Amino acid sequence: FNGYLKVRIGEAVGLQPTRWSLRHSLFRKGYQLLDPYVTVSVDQVRVGQTSTKQKTNKPTYNEEFSTTVSDGHQIELSVFHDTPIGYDDFVANCTLHFQDLLRSAGPSDSFEGW
């Protein structure tokens, strides 16, 4: 893919607690909440990161990231739990291949609701 890429991160749903959040929680019983943020990468190069939302497993972001892509192959969205000490904890990810997006393109040049 060659062109201008604009990604809008709306929300994340169904996020599950990580081992770290369960192990370091003050409240051992009940539902554990995360402090999640989303990173946006094109071919393993980070092009954006959302703000961290505190204590939620269904964060709403409504944040946009734009970049020019030259010979791009894939876009990856990754969710992390912001930990106070050490490395942030991986929660989930999704990889979209530009080739698959372009193959399914209709009359519009945008892909919404993914």
How many Cα neighbours within 13 Å face the side chain of 89?
A: 19
**Lowest-pLDDT range of 45-49, 69-73, 83-87:** 83-87
Q: What CATH number belongs to 3-104?
A: 2.60.40.150
Taking the domains of the chain in order of start, what are their residue ranges? 3-104
Nearest Cα to Cα of residue 4 among 74, 89, 69: 69
| Most confident of the following: 24-33, 59-68, 104-113 | 59-68
Q: Cα separation of 18 and 50, whole Å? A: 19
| Residue 78, beta-bridge partner list | 39, 93
**Per-residue pLDDT averaged across 92-99, rounded?**
93
Give exposure, 67-98, as e/b (b: 16+ Cβ within 10 Å). bebeebebbbbbbbbeeeeeebbebeeeeeeb
